[in-house]
Structure 1
Amino acid sequence: MKKTYRIAAALLLCALAGLAQAQDKDRPPAAAPLPTWEQLTPAQRDELIAPMRERWNRSPEDRQRMYDHAHRWRTMSPEQRREARKGMQRWEQMDPQKREQARALFEHMRGMSPEDRKALKEKWREMTPEQRKQWFEENRSKP
C-alpha cells in the first residue's frame, strides 16, 4: 500500500514540477497566492497536465494502474497524503542497496496476512544489521 502512496505522490510531484516550469509570463508573482484551477490560464493548465499526458501516452500498459493510483490519491485523507509524501521523500533519499532491501521486504510481505506482516515487522525491528543482511540474502527477489 505504501508503494501506491509513493507512486501517487510521484505523479503529483510530476504535475507540480510541470507548473514550476511554466513560462515567466504565465507565472503569477511569487508573493501572490496561486489561483484556483478555474482561474488558471489554458497554458498553466497545460503545464500541469503535460507530464501526466506524456506518461499516459508513452505507457498504454500502465494506464489502468495510473488511473487506479490517481483514484486512490483522491480518496486519501490529508494525513494519508502527508504520510505518502514523507514516504516518497524517504525513498528518494535511500541509497540503492537499502532500496533493494526495501523492495525485497515489500515483495515478501505482499502475500502475507496482516497478522503475519505485523509479526515480521516486529521481528525486523529487533534484528541486528547482520541479521537483516542475512534475511535479505535469503529472501532477495530473483531478477
Structure 2
Amino acid sequence: MNKSDLTLNELLVFNSEMKNVEKSAAIAYLMLIGGHLGVHRFYLKKKVSAIIQLVLFLIASGGYIFFAFMTAFIDEGIGSVALFVVSLVLFLVPAIALLIWIIVDLCLISRMVREYNSVLEHQLVEQIIHHRTHQQQQQF
C-alpha cells in the first residue's frame, strides 16, 4: 500500500501525523556539528552507531588528556617514551576514525533522513489502512 490508496480524509490525517514525526535533514546537518558525539545518529534512531561514535569520542578525549599529561611530565626514560607513544595512539586512532566517519556522514545524512522518513511513511500508511479495514468490519 502507499499514499495514493488513501482517501482525502485519510491523507489529511497522514500529512498531519507525518509533520509531527518526520525527521528534518536541516536539523540532522545542524546536529552533525556535534557529530563527534553521535548526536545526529541518535536523532535518526541509529542508536548502535551513535553509541559507537560517542565511545570513540570518549576514548579519543581520554587519550588526549593522557597525551597532554604525558607531554607535560615526560622524562627521558624508556618507560615514559612508551607511555607517550601509547597515549598518542589512544588519541590519534579513535580521533582519525571519528573524523573520517563524520566526513562520510556528511555525505550520507540526506539519504539516512529519506530512508527514515520512508519507513515512517510506510508504517503510517499501514496503520491508516488497518484502521480503515477495522472500521469497515465493525460496520458489518
Q: Same fold (TM over 0.5)?
A: no
What's the TM-score once normalised by structure 2's chain length? Answer: 0.25
When normalised by structure 1's length, the TM-score is 0.25
Give 1 or 2: higher helix fraction. Answer: 2
